[in-house]
Amino acid sequence: MYVKEAPPGHAAALSGIEAGDEIVAIDGKDAKTMSPAEVRAAVRGPVGTKVRVEVVHAGQTRTVVVERGPLE
C-alpha cells in the first residue's frame, strides 16, 4: 500500500513518512498481504501510543516509529 498523503503536522509526516512511500510492514507484520482496511486499522490506535512502520522511499527501506496522534 502506498501513502496517498502525509499532511504537515500529522503523526506520519512528523515521523518522516511522505506521500508516495510504500508501507511494507507494520509492527513487524507484512503489510503487502494486508487489505487497505487492515493497514489503516494496524496504524491507528490510542493517541500517544507508538507503531513501527517500515516504508520504502526512493528505493531505500527504512523503519520509522510513529507516535499516534488525534485523527482530524
Q: What is the pLDDT of residues 22-49, one digit of tens each?
A: 999 999 999 999 999 999 999 999 999 9
Q: Can you read off the three cell numbers belonging to residue 36? A: 487497505
11-67: CATH class: mainly beta
pLDDT of residue 70: 83
Q: Can you read off the three cell numbers belonging to residue 64? A: 520509522
pLDDT of residue 47: 93
Q: pTM for the whole thing?
A: 0.86
Q: How much is the CA Rg of the chain, to the nearest whole Å?
A: 11
β-bridge partners, 23: 55
4 and 19 Cβ atoms separated by less than 8 Å: yes
* Torsion sign over Cα 62, 57, 40, 70: positive
| Of the candidates 42, 64, 46, 40, the residue with the CA atom closest to the CA atom of residue 54 | 64
Reduced to 3 states (helix: H, G, I; strand: E, B; else coil), residue 63 is strand
Kindly state the average pLDDT of the residues 4-33. Answer: 92
Percent of the chain with pLDDT over 70: 99
